[in-house]
Structure 1
Amino acid sequence: MSGQTEINSRPDAPAVNGAEIEVRECTTVNEFDACVRLQREVFGLPEVELSPRRHLIVSRSAGGWILGAFVGDELIGFVHHLTAVRGREVIGYSHMMAVAAAYQNLGIGARLKWAQRARALDEGVDFIKWTWEPVRARNAHFNINRLGVVVRSYAVNFYGTDYHAPAGMEGERHGIDSDRLFAEWELRAPRVEALAAAANDTRGATREVTSGKVTSGKVTSGKVTSGKTTPGARVGNNVPVVIAAVEIPPDWGALVRDDAATARREQLRVREEFQQAFARRYVCAGFDRDPAHPRYLFYTDGDR
């Protein structure tokens, strides 16, 4: 696959704070260095955990690429796409995405992900995977409700214990494992196609996909005993039945900071409930963004 194709933002895409945003491939040493600086600013990781310039250059030479969001010559966000395989199929692996603090919550991340999808499809790739922390409600909403990913697997302590402390606590150790969910982004799935169409609709430039809401049924100990939900951007008239749910803490960073022991217990509970759901072959394809009780929603594989 070639890493040379350039993707630009749509000419009619709205400016952010009055500035024109261009999405294009990062190709120069200066642009790669800007990606490293942005990692340092956004992730708050130790230097040893940052992807250095050399890694970014090597991954590009191996078929990967970085799409950057620029205001003029300033890099304000990027997504790093790697070439991967699934059996004999070439797929994409989204290694990381970062958006500068001053430009967060303005839709830059979504524009980068949809540009990544377009580039991957142009290269004949229709599946991308990546990971995120199960306890991060904001990421869950973005990945599941806005992008349309599904989740079928849970990785225990993927990067090692205390890999990523919350911002401002980089040197502290709380015994928190780096559990991760694997996002499965089927780029041609009907739900993803519908979300992509909405994202390209200038009338929906500021419209947010509604998170799934449980309209009936009781959640007890992470289980939905009955009830239905309408996941974000569900296509069609049939409303799928929620067969299980896993609730997560509403503010994980605050919980780790204020009560690490409870955070560890909550992480183990979330892990066990996800593992139980996946052992039953349930698929996570919805997220209820309730401020006090955020929760993942599960369905049978044919009912999502």
Structure 2
Amino acid sequence: MKKDIDIRECITVDQLSACVELQREVFKLPEIEISPVRHFIVTKNAGGFILGAFENSDLIGFVLSVPAFLRGQKAFYSHMTAVRDDFQSYGIGRRLKWEQRLKALELGVKFVKWTFEPWKARNAYFNLEKLGAIITEYQPNFYGIDYATASTGGKKIGLASDRLFAEWHLESPKVIALSKGESFAEPNYPERQIDVTPDWSALVAQSPEAALAEQKRLRLEFEAAFADGLVCKSFKRSESEPQYLFYRKENA
């Protein structure tokens, strides 16, 4: 863990402008897709908040929480979580998310939602097992073709921007346990598994065609699982065969 990292709310225009620059560095999106400082300022003044991770006065990470109304309740849409490359793998993203939970609860909000790429096993493990989110929705081509070339090593291979929606129920038993540093075991056995490639980047480098086929397979299997009334609640980490694990919705 990096020392002397302070998590605090980004308030000033300079701090929010630093979020824009970090967004540009981390996500490597076309300039037209970069959210401007105005977006951050409007979000803050519309009831949302931006938490930053600082090393002294330098911003090295942030999470953006957009106010939302989802499923008949107040919620936050966690639009972006970014950590500078040289501060990756030090738990800073996890600290930002747990501070996001605390801030949301302080504001009377118990539900947060965000998207992530289905083929990224590391992100799936983080969202499901480190944070306790669940998944009930798969959206094909959410942003358009080849939206984030960082996912394909800068190559445009015709990749549709399919996304899974992580649903974070902030007072669920699993989330509460994980927030305390405790372990949590699902009380039921999974009814279905979906395999995912352990190394998406290597697959893209080896064969873009195989990567596109992997995406198609994942889309079909996720859509079938959700159509059968299943919900994804866990993720099995493995160097060779990582898996999404599905359970009956009534047990979610």
Q: Offset at 1:98?
A: 0.4
Of residues 23, 28, 33, the one that matches 2:12 is: 28
Contact 2:50 2:63 in 1 (8 A): yes
Other-structure match for 1:54: 38
Contact 1:241 1:303 in 2 (8 A): no
Other-structure match for 2:219: 271
CA deviation vs aligned residue, 1:109-136 (integer Å, no higher than 9, x gap):
1110000000000110000000000000
CA deviation vs aligned residue, 1:235-257 (integer Å, no higher than 9, x gap):
6xx4x111111111111122223
State TM-score, norm by structure 1: 0.80
Other-structure match for 1:262: 210
Amino acid at match of 2:160: D
Report how many aligned residue pairs link the two structures. 252
Other-structure match for 2:146: 162
Query: Equivalent residue of 2:149, what SS?
Result: coil
Query: Equivalent residue of 1:193, what SS?
Result: helix
Other-structure match for 2:77: 93
Q: Offset at 1:58?
A: 1.1
Contact 1:44 1:168 in 2 (8 A): no
Q: Offset at 1:274?
A: 0.4
Q: In proportion to residue count, which structure has more strand?
A: 2
The separation in 2 between residues aligned to 1:167 and 1:278, in whole angstroms, is: 25
Of residues 197, 213, 234, the one that matches 1:249 is: 197
Structure 1 residue ranges, 4+ long, deviating more than 6 angstroms after superposition: none
Q: Larger Cα Rg: Structure 1 or Structure 2?
A: 1
The separation in 2 between residues aligned to 1:79 and 1:61, in whole angstroms, is: 16
Other-structure match for 2:185: 234
Q: Offset at 1:301?
A: 2.1
> Identity over aligned residues, as a percent?
47
Q: Offset at 1:167?
A: 6.1
State TM-score, norm by structure 2: 0.95
The separation in 2 between residues aligned to 1:47 and 1:133, in whole angstroms, is: 21
Deviates more, 1:34-43 or 1:122-131: 34-43
Q: 1:247 to 1:119 in 2, by over 3 A?
A: same
Other-structure match for 1:227: none
Once the two structures are superposed, the pairs formed by residues 212-227 of structure 1 within 5 Å of their partners are none
Other-structure match for 2:172: 189
